[in-house]
Structure 1
Amino acid sequence: MNRRPLVWFAVFWIAGCSVAAELSHWGVALAVCAATIMLLGLVLLGKSTRRLAAVCLIGFTLAAGERMWADARNVTALTGLDLPDASYEVEVTGTMISAVLVDGDRATFRVTADTVRISGEAAPREVRERLLVQVRLAEQPHQKIAAAWHRGDKVHLTGELTLPAGASNSGGFDYRRYLYSSQHIHWLLKVTGIGAVHAAPGPGWTAAAMLGRVDAARDWLGARVDQLYPADQSGYMKGLVLGIREDLDPEQFQQFSRLGLTHILAISGLHVAVFIYALGAVLRLLRMTRERMLVALMFAVPFYVLLSGSSPSVVRAGLMTMLALLAARMDKLKDGLHLLAAAAAAMLIWNPYFVQDVGFQLSFAVTAGLIMFVQPVRRAMPDWPRGKALLDLLAVTVVAQVVSFPLTIYYFNQFHLLSIPANLVLVPFISFIVMPIGAVALLIGMLWPFGGQLLAAVSVYANDWTFLLVSKLGEVDALRTIWATPPLWWIVAWYLSLAVFCRMLPAAPVAVQADLDETQPLQGGVEPDTAPIWELQEERKLPVWRIRRTGLIFALLAGSGLLLYAYFPDVWNRTADVDVLDVGQGDSIYIRTPEGKRILVDGGGTLSFRKAGEEWRKRSDPFEVGGKVVVPLLMKRGVHALDLLVISHLDSDHIRGLQAVLETIPVKAIVWNGSLKPDEDAEAILRTAVQKGIPLYRAELGKQWKVDRNTELTVLWPPPAAGREIPRVDEQNDDSVVLYMRIYSSAFLLSGDISSVAESSILSRLQDIGAAPLSVNPIDVLKVAHHGSKYSTSEEWLRFWRPLQAAISVGATNTYGHPHPDVLKRLEAASAAAFRTDRDGEIRYKVKRTGIYEQTIRKN
């Protein structure tokens, strides 16, 4: 600890910032006490000086205090307007502080408001408030008008002020928290039409206006890249060379993401190193002295950081580079860990919210891991002179993957076993060949367009092979693993095990040639030429080797145990889960049985009302409930495969999200209502299921499935088909699959979108076949049919089932009037407590042998 005081100061600064971000004030106070005790123990053990311990404790306390102070200041100036579901008509004047992103029929930018006049108030409020502005464009020509707005412009806006959406599902994306921590934004301003936006150039030398010139330079360079590369590659090359990721094809990004290759597309230390190397070569050609060259490079780095987008990874790399150049200029260049520690502390002092940024965490964790662990790993590998470069690359790749693994599964819940070979092959190829060729082609193309195109053609060919390889590797679904989000203690334990493992790694033995002229003494009766000297030396170090061996075994066992726990976190959990997910105006219910079987009933679906000729409105990465909500939630809950997928019926609001589910998560069997519907979504879902070889079973009245020893499904509707031919059904609601599910002694009724007509038919058939015992006891939960439609959930239906609780899956902004007041009155009269996803968010039920013992509601 005494040898690296700056590193330990940075560690405690990061720790203080982190605990203040996650804990209450009392929690922070306890953390300060714990840090004090730990540092005192290190002093008593002689591992730290009193001065260093005091400095680290001060750093921990100051970092926590700075974060709490930042939180206290990070509040809205628009007081009295924080009702969760409220919106306000407002007029805003202010300054545009970000570039304008035009995507389909929407333009997005940030504004610092100077005045906000709320409808109904006599005078505008003079405030300083950051707003995220979303402008809905009415016509395609308006895209060019919106693209002409610039950072630094003075704007006058009229629109609707609302709070950003919070997390409505357990573990779901919290947009409100994201804007709060990353951009200090508390409000959305939704503007309809460019007529409600009046923009004019502001003062030319403000910070926003100067950054606007940087935006213009980035856009100009991006346009040059568009001229050099075909449409399917220009977005990729802009991300690779310039850090412009807005034009990257989402499907292409997803393919790279599956293999853990997205870090290639983020400007980071390698890009800064190439920039410094190229600029340094030019300066050397100009015969600049070393001292002047170091100063010039130091001042050039911030411009490159700004030009490449200023993401946390490139800021980290830029800071480290500047510190290294400064240290070299002063002839005091230290090891990389000190530079990394200084960069981390400086970034958090500037903005303590960086500690929660995924890019910041990955960038610093991987860089620290490479600095600390590559050398011991490489020493333990054989020393092959001809294969030295390959072994060096292998060591770097393996260490980077192992270090990033816990953060990868924590945030993205997946890891592809081909990630290591993919990184081993593609990272050096892209970083040392494709990226430099693209950068040089861009520079040459600005002076000689034809020459730039000739050079770019080489990387076009290389990119084709890259995309093909990434696509083929990503399609190997058998090697793609899904991981539940691990607890924070697991991540700490993983890094401790990794540190012990690398610390205990022995160096690969290297035979020492003995001097043949020197007489070797006999030892233990062994002839000198029969025992190499290195063996005799290792024999004398046997106690050290035993310690190393014990440490290695301990680290390997700990790592293996952590992997098993992370992959099977609920293997001994015998509590069932029934979760009614908030998917807007649609249905999706996730079920985990007591013995770990996974069932999904429907997958939600975002309806599209776009007319013919309005393709321009389509966004590059449109919201799709399956890919944005259902699949991430299933992955966060560790769903490696679905044992059963139930498709209640083929309406889009129940199945459109299932396309992403089928493409991402293995499905073992499908139960559906046994019909066909002449609809693009329905045909695509059934076609995908057939192509993947998933068995499809027709649900019919009376069929039962014993899912496990404590879970049983009974089909109550639809009735048996008249023949073996699959019928075509245009109106699907009354053909919905209705399931009676019993888990332990608790009963759930999942009723799809049936109407009161189908309800009456079901009750009649149940009485005819003697199924009245189903209703001897009240059912615990009724999933209300058709999102609470007026024409469902009749009094007769409620009288038969006598539900204790009712769950209504309904969209907050639906235009159908769901749930209907008459349905809510009928539920109240039946003494059924009603919960709604539009107001309560996801509705979660925990089921034990004694019944439903816990119900968790996450409110917006």
Structure 2
Amino acid sequence: MRLMDRRPLVWFATCFVAGSAAAAGLGARGAMLLAGAAALLAAAAVLGKQASRGVAIACLIGLCLAAGTRLWADARNVTALQELAAAAEADGPRAAYAADALGTIVSAVEIDGDRVTFRMEAHAIQAEGVEPLERAERLQVQLRLSEAPELEVAAAWQRGDEVRVAGELSRPAEATNSGGFDYRRYLRSQGIHWLLKAEGAAALDVASPAAKQWSAAAMLGRVDAARAWLGTRLGALYPAEQSGYMQGLILGIREDLDPEQFNAFARLGLTHILAISGLHVAVFMYAFGGLMKLARQPRERILTALMFAVPLYVLLAGASPSVLRAGVMAVLGLIAARLGKLKDGLHLLAAAAVLLLLYNPYYLDSVSFQLSFLVTLGLIVGVPPVRRALPRPRRGGWLLDLAAVTLVAQLVSFPVTLYYFNQFHLLSLLANFILVPFISFIVMPAGTAAMLLGFVWEDGAGWLAGLSVRANEWSFALVDALSKPDGLRIIWATPPLWWVMVWLLLMAALFRFVDRWNAVRRWREEEAAACEEATAPLSAGSDGGDDQYRRDRSSHSPYGRHMRAAVGYAAALIILLLYAANPYRFDRSGTVSFLDVGQGDAALIRTPAGKHILIDGGGAISFAKPGEEWRARKDPFDVGAKVVVPLLMRRGVSELDLLVVSHLDSDHIKGLHAVLEQIPVKAIWWNGSMKDSEDAVRLMELALDSGIPLYAPADDDEVELDYATRLKVLWPVRRNGEEAVPSEEDQNEHSLVVSLSMYGYTILFPGDISSETERLIVEREQSAGGEASPITILKVAHHGSRYSTSEEWLAYLRPLSAVASVSATNTYGHPHPDVISRLGHAGAALWRTDLEGEARFRLTSSGVFAWKE
């Protein structure tokens, strides 16, 4: 039989996914080029007798159908408010328009502190310049509660409610840092193009509760209520520190999951345990089917019952892409088993992929969808040959089965994990080997049984929950112990897509090689057995010809060829790993990146020798008032954890050679807490003072607890970082005779001012100094060495405050370009028009992070280049 004719549905699904991916990533022109290439490959497959004409045509049709479906979805995925969108683009990122929206809540209502979020399908929008809607507009609603009693009001809102919301329409933010999270693109994949921001519960009026409706949204609202009710029952059975974990594990409710607990699981690559997926569906089917067997139900009735039970479980588990994949595969498998036509998992996986992408082409953009299908495909293809390559002991064979599953899952998910999460823990394999079966087959069933048993026997439920509480304590302790050694966590730069594809193709070839190796091993065993039976003692006069014959046969046997192939696969894997570990190995340019961290400062420097320096880390100033603890969010936005650390990891910063803290104001250091917790730091420079603030104290405590050397350099201190890079301190003035660290509440004038020289070009980082300190620095520099060479790049002091960046300062520095690190929503008026005017008169080109996002500069021996990805 021809190769492609053996599994036509698998080849059709492969072409379908390829067509959808091409349309998503390359657009119409790329999809047409791929279709042309696919047509040539299809013709070659038919001529080479690898596929029948019908299968080749079907695969080509599948590719074109998928590409057309995605392009059609993209063409329809536009806002109905075209004129308002054009105005918003012209008005800039701060544009917001007063509006009233009438529509239906179409997602679960999430409450976190004083913030309420949900999605609504707006049937009517009243705003200036907005025409009546020809079709519904989906909105992301963000409502901020004004008073604590409003929490009870918001708790009554649910999916399916017809509501009117008064607020402001604005466009979602785009990615402003290279490789950063693109909120606009993410919401667009959900069919959302606008944010509707409102203040106070009074801004929302429920016109018709979901309880009085029978729409799809209202029915899903009842499912949300059932999930919340079950989550409450789990919360009553478990202590507070385990409640959110168990709700996520059993019901897929992650709102109450402790962020630190989640991060510990993430470091070990265990977050898939907390995402409802195929394993959870399999456990559910096993338990449900087992109960029906105990009730002596026939096989046909069990299969029929599972066909209806699995979709209900998928809804209760939140219907994420991973659980949808598992649910569709399960239902297709149950139908095939009921009809007596169940063949293999590859066909089920292929059918599930095609059905889900036909239903929603944007599922392909989901990380959970990609990982779910890739790992499932890897397990189906890779586990059988790997398991056959392992011994088959009389006892304990299940441990080797588990080892094969864990190893294959790690190998297949490895490149995608690096691409999206940029880290891999060397103990991840061990953690998955121990904890996945323990949690999946002991903790999760025990928690589910306790939840269900609580309906009829509360004491028994409490006893069963108590056992799982002990199991959770053991699991958390093990996760904490395994995740703590930072030396075993490797940070990788985001690899290119071609690298991911080459790794996955190499894995497919490797699994096929292992299967052939197994065949060769069986052949050798059979040959050895045959030789033992047929071999007779050699005569005394033998010349050893038989031995030579065996050597010749061995050198030309499949075993010899497979040994050479094994060496080739090992070499390919090593080359791929070495490239991913340091993709900048041969890059002799340096980079200076002024990150967009809102109203704060953060600059990342990579020297030509590959060293990394971070100057400040951004951070928000807290305006929390006593008595408003109810406003605190479970996982508040932290610029360090959400912006700075992910960017460092995406760029392969496995450690910081130097962290420069200009001064101890929160907008410069709050983001550094997450940096010190997640990125190793060799040394810290700071201004040598202290400030009586929670953020400053915590930063110093983290540095001391981590054993990081702290240095307080002063003017004229200089260090050579590598052959092309030097760092010099211009301010503050050295304090003589002071032993204790002084306390300085006003930190701005004590900012650490540093000058970076790379390939002869100079970049100046002046912190938040004012014009008075600028004057003092100029006087000191002039008295010491006369006029300075022109500065290549000047970081504008104090975010462009009116009282900094004076004419005298600019006349002395003569900057060629300048960067102002400011927020698009700052209320300080930064950068001040006077500063912009002074920079213009000085002839300095100005980059602003509020308008252009991150400012990136590449420095080489031949020049300085600015670029934006």
Q: How high is the TM-score relative to the length of structure 1?
A: 0.96
SS of the residue corresponding to residue 619 of structure 2 reads coil
Deviation at 1:781, TM superposition (A): 0.7
| 1:636 and 2:650 aligned | yes
Change in Cα spacing, 1:515 to 1:824, as seen in structure 2 (3 Å) is closer
Given that 1:118 and 1:124 are in contact with CA atoms closer than 8 Å, whether structure 2 keeps it comes out as no
Given that 1:500 and 1:551 are in contact with CA atoms closer than 8 Å, whether structure 2 keeps it comes out as no
Aligned mates of 2:44, 2:55 — CA distance in 1: 13
Aligned mates of 2:197, 2:157 — CA distance in 1: 17
Given that 1:224 and 1:446 are in contact with CA atoms closer than 8 Å, whether structure 2 keeps it comes out as no
Given that 1:116 and 1:127 are in contact with CA atoms closer than 8 Å, whether structure 2 keeps it comes out as no
Q: Which residue of 2 aligns with 1:622?
A: 636
Deviation at 1:271, TM superposition (A): 1.4
SS of the residue corresponding to residue 2 of structure 1 reads helix
Change in Cα spacing, 1:551 to 1:39, as seen in structure 2 (3 Å) is farther
Given that 1:589 and 1:600 are in contact with CA atoms closer than 8 Å, whether structure 2 keeps it comes out as yes
Give per-residue Cα distances to partners, 1:698-726, cap 9 Å, x unaligned: 12100111010001111111111122422
| 1:758 and 2:766 aligned | no
Q: Which residue of 1 aligns with 2:546?
A: none
Q: Which residue of 2 aligns with 1:424?
A: 433
Corresponding residue to 1:599 among 589, 613, 624: 613
Q: Which residue of 1 aligns with 2:867?
A: 856
Give per-residue Cα distances to partners, 1:99-151, cap 9 Å, x unaligned: 11011001111110010000466x75454100011111011121111010111
Aligned mates of 1:481, 1:519 — CA distance in 2: 54
Given that 2:80 and 2:133 are in contact with CA atoms closer than 8 Å, whether structure 1 keeps it comes out as no
Q: Which residue of 2 aligns with 1:55?
A: 58
> Which residue identity does 1:64 align to in structure 2?
A
Aligned mates of 2:227, 2:313 — CA distance in 1: 11
Aligned mates of 1:392, 1:524 — CA distance in 2: 45
Aligned mates of 2:710, 2:554 — CA distance in 1: 68
Give per-residue Cα distances to partners, 1:215-274, cap 9 Å, x unaligned: 111111111101110111011011111111111111111110000001111111121112
Change in Cα spacing, 1:452 to 1:518, as seen in structure 2 (3 Å) is same
Corresponding residue to 2:191 among 169, 181, 184: 184
Corresponding residue to 1:769 among 777, 784, 801: 784
Deviation at 1:198, TM superposition (A): 0.4
Q: Which residue of 1 aligns with 2:725?
A: 711
Please give the residue correspondences for 1:458-477 in structure 2 after superposition, counting only pairs within 5 Å: 458-477=467-486
Q: Which residue of 2 aligns with 1:193?
A: 200
Deviation at 1:745, TM superposition (A): 2.3
Please give the residue correspondences for 1:378-527 in structure 2 after superposition, counting only pairs within 5 Å: 378-505=387-514, 506-507=517-518, 520-522=534-536
Give per-residue Cα distances to partners, 1:656-697, cap 9 Å, x unaligned: 000100010010111111111111111111111111111111
Given that 2:598 and 2:824 are in contact with CA atoms closer than 8 Å, whether structure 1 keeps it comes out as yes
> Which residue identity does 1:8 align to in structure 2?
W
> Which residue identity does 2:807 align to in structure 1?
E
Aligned mates of 1:376, 1:538 — CA distance in 2: 29
Aligned mates of 1:64, 1:6 — CA distance in 2: 18
Aligned mates of 2:631, 2:799 — CA distance in 1: 29
> Which residue identity does 1:153 align to in structure 2?
D
Structure 2: runs of 5 or more not aligned: 542-548
Q: Alignment length, in residue pairs?
A: 845
Q: Which residue of 2 aligns with 1:141?
A: 149
Aligned mates of 1:514, 1:814 — CA distance in 2: 79
Q: Which residue of 1 aligns with 2:815?
A: 803
Aligned mates of 2:233, 2:813 — CA distance in 1: 67
Given that 2:824 and 2:850 are in contact with CA atoms closer than 8 Å, whether structure 1 keeps it comes out as yes
Please give the residue correspondences for 1:286-297 in structure 2 after superposition, counting only pairs within 5 Å: 286-297=295-306
Corresponding residue to 2:371 among 354, 362, 370: 362
Change in Cα spacing, 1:536 to 1:324, as seen in structure 2 (3 Å) is farther
Q: Which residue of 1 aligns with 2:544?
A: none
Change in Cα spacing, 1:3 to 1:515, as seen in structure 2 (3 Å) is closer
Given that 1:305 and 1:315 are in contact with CA atoms closer than 8 Å, whether structure 2 keeps it comes out as yes
Deviation at 1:292, TM superposition (A): 2.5
> Which residue identity does 2:162 align to in structure 1?
K
Given that 1:504 and 1:549 are in contact with CA atoms closer than 8 Å, whether structure 2 keeps it comes out as no
Change in Cα spacing, 1:515 to 1:617, as seen in structure 2 (3 Å) is closer
| 1:655 and 2:669 aligned | yes
Give per-residue Cα distances to partners, 1:68-126, cap 9 Å, x unaligned: 000000010111112233211001111111111011001111110010000466x7545
> Which residue identity does 1:91 align to in structure 2?
D
Change in Cα spacing, 1:522 to 1:712, as seen in structure 2 (3 Å) is same
Aligned mates of 1:745, 1:816 — CA distance in 2: 35
Please give the residue correspondences for 1:106-121 in structure 2 after superposition, counting only pairs within 5 Å: 106-119=115-128
Aligned mates of 1:551, 1:496 — CA distance in 2: 15
Change in Cα spacing, 1:66 to 1:514, as seen in structure 2 (3 Å) is closer
Change in Cα spacing, 1:685 to 1:46, as seen in structure 2 (3 Å) is same
CA RMSD, Structure 1 to Structure 2 (Å): 2.1
Deviation at 1:472, TM superposition (A): 1.2
Aligned mates of 1:554, 1:578 — CA distance in 2: 39
Give per-residue Cα distances to partners, 1:317-359, cap 9 Å, x unaligned: 1111111111111111111111111111111111110111000
Deviation at 1:2, TM superposition (A): 2.0
Change in Cα spacing, 1:613 to 1:45, as seen in structure 2 (3 Å) is same
Q: Which residue of 1 aligns with 2:16?
A: 13
Deviation at 1:38, TM superposition (A): 2.2
Deviation at 1:517, TM superposition (A): 15
Corresponding residue to 1:693 among 680, 687, 707: 707
Aligned mates of 1:254, 1:542 — CA distance in 2: 53
Q: Which residue of 2 aligns with 1:737?
A: 752
Q: Which residue of 1 aligns with 2:229?
A: 220
SS of the residue corresponding to residue 395 of structure 2 reads helix
Deviation at 1:165, TM superposition (A): 0.7
Aligned mates of 1:538, 1:807 — CA distance in 2: 72
> Which residue identity does 2:867 align to in structure 1?
T
Deviation at 1:525, TM superposition (A): 7.4
Please give the residue correspondences for 1:813-828 in structure 2 after superposition, counting only pairs within 5 Å: 813-828=825-840
Aligned mates of 1:615, 1:813 — CA distance in 2: 25
Aligned mates of 1:572, 1:811 — CA distance in 2: 36
SS of the residue corresponding to residue 454 of structure 2 reads helix
SS of the residue corresponding to residue 107 of structure 1 reads strand
Q: Which residue of 2 aligns with 1:531?
A: none
| 1:311 and 2:320 aligned | yes
Deviation at 1:569, TM superposition (A): 0.3
Please give the residue correspondences for 1:32-71 in structure 2 after superposition, counting only pairs within 5 Å: 32-71=35-74
Higher alpha-carbon deviation: 702-711 or 126-135: 126-135
Given that 1:501 and 1:551 are in contact with CA atoms closer than 8 Å, whether structure 2 keeps it comes out as no
Aligned mates of 1:514, 1:800 — CA distance in 2: 87
Corresponding residue to 1:838 among 850, 858, 862: 850
Deviation at 1:524, TM superposition (A): 7.7
Aligned mates of 2:305, 2:38 — CA distance in 1: 42
SS of the residue corresponding to residue 668 of structure 1 reads coil
Identity %: 56
Given that 2:160 and 2:218 are in contact with CA atoms closer than 8 Å, whether structure 1 keeps it comes out as yes
Corresponding residue to 2:334 among 315, 318, 325: 325
Q: Which residue of 2 aligns with 1:347?
A: 356
> Which residue identity does 2:250 align to in structure 1?
V
SS of the residue corresponding to residue 407 of structure 1 reads helix
Q: Which residue of 1 aligns with 2:140?
A: 132
> Which residue identity does 2:187 align to in structure 1?
L
SS of the residue corresponding to residue 122 of structure 2 reads strand
Structure 1: runs of 5 or more not aligned: 528-534
SS of the residue corresponding to residue 70 of structure 1 reads helix
SS of the residue corresponding to residue 23 of structure 1 reads helix
| 1:554 and 2:535 aligned | no
Higher alpha-carbon deviation: 805-814 or 289-298: 289-298
Higher alpha-carbon deviation: 648-657 or 264-273: 264-273
Q: Which residue of 1 aligns with 2:545?
A: none
